[in-house]
Amino acid sequence: MTPNLLSVAVLVPCRNEEGTVAGVVNSFREALPDARCYVYDNGSTDRTADAALAAGAVVRREPAAGKGNVVRRMFADVEADVYVLVDGDGTYEAAAAPAMVERLVSGNLDMVGGARVPSGEGNAYRRGHRLGNALFNWLINTQFGGKYTDCYSGYRVMSRRLVKSFPATSQYFEIENELAAHCAYLRLPYEEMPTRYVERPDGSESKLRTFRDGARALFSVGLAVKEFHPLRFFSIVSALLGLLAVVLGIPILTEFWETGLVPRFPTAMLCMGLGLAALGSFLSGVILDSVNRGRREMKLTAYLRYPSVQEAHRRAQRNARTGGQPDSTAVNRPPATRS
Tens of pLDDT along 296-308? 899 999 999 999 9
In what side-by-side order are the strands of the sheet with 8-14? Answer: 58-61, 36-41, 8-14, 82-85, 156-159, 111-118, 190-197
Q: Residues 236, 223: one domain?
A: no
- Residues 274, 130 share a domain: no
Residue 205, pLDDT score = 60
Mean pLDDT over the full length of the chain: 85
Between CA 296 and CA 109 the distance in angstroms is 20
Which one of 228, 255, 270 terminates a domain? Answer: 228
Asked whether residue 44 is assigned to any structural domain, the reply reads yes
Q: Are residues 167 and 238 in the same domain?
A: no
Pairing of strands 82-85, 58-61: unpaired
Does 119 share its domain with 256? Answer: no
Classify residue 83: in a domain, yes or no. Answer: yes
Residues 183 and 50 in one domain: yes
Quick one: 25 and 41 in the same domain?
Answer: yes
* Sign for the pseudo-dihedral over CA of 137, 142, 67, 161: positive
End-to-end CA distance of the chain: give it in Å, rounded: 33
- Residue 90 belongs to a domain: yes
The region, left, alpha or beta by phi > 0 then psi within -120 to 50, assigned to residue 164 is: alpha
CATH assignment of the domain containing 77: 3.90.550.10
Which of these three, 206, 228, 250, is where a domain ends? Answer: 228
Which carries the bigger pLDDT value, residue 324 or residue 301?
301
**Is residue 156 within 8 Å of residue 166, measured between CB atoms?**
no
Both 200 and 279 in one domain: the answer is no
Dist CA 82 CA 61 (whole Å): 21
In this structure, the answer to whether residues 208 and 236 fall within a common structural domain is: no
Q: How confident is the model over 41-67, as a mean pLDDT?
A: 91
103 lies in a domain?
Answer: yes
State mean pLDDT over 306-334: 71
Establish if 47 belongs to a structural domain: yes
Q: What is the pLDDT at residue 251? A: 86
User: Which bin fits 33, alpha (ψ -120 to 50), beta or left (φ > 0)?
Assistant: alpha
Higher pLDDT, 26 or 19: 26
Residue 238 sits in the same domain as residue 213? no
Higher pLDDT, 299 or 222: 299
Task: Report yes or no on 313 lying in a domain.
Answer: no
pLDDT score, position 281: 94
Pair 269, 121 in one domain: no
CB 3 within 8 A of CB 80: no
- The secondary structure of 102-119 as a DSSP string is HHHHHTT-SEEEEEEEE-
The strand pairing partners of 113, in sequence order, are 156, 192
Q: Which domain holds residue 258?
A: 230-304
CB 182 within 8 A of CB 220: no
pLDDT score, position 166? 92
Nearest Cα neighbor of 250 from 16, 33, 208, 242 is 242
Q: Is 104 part of any domain?
A: yes
Nearest Cα to 12, choosing from 64, 54, 61?
Answer: 61
Residue 32, SS3 per DSSP: coil
Per-residue confidence (pLDDT) for residue 188, from 0 to 100: 93
**Residue 318 within any structural domain of the chain:** no
Number of domains in the chain: 2
Judgement on whether residues 198 and 52 belong to the same structural domain of the protein: yes
Asked whether residue 10 falls in the same domain as residue 84, the answer is yes
Of 228, 253, 279, which residue is a domain's last?
228
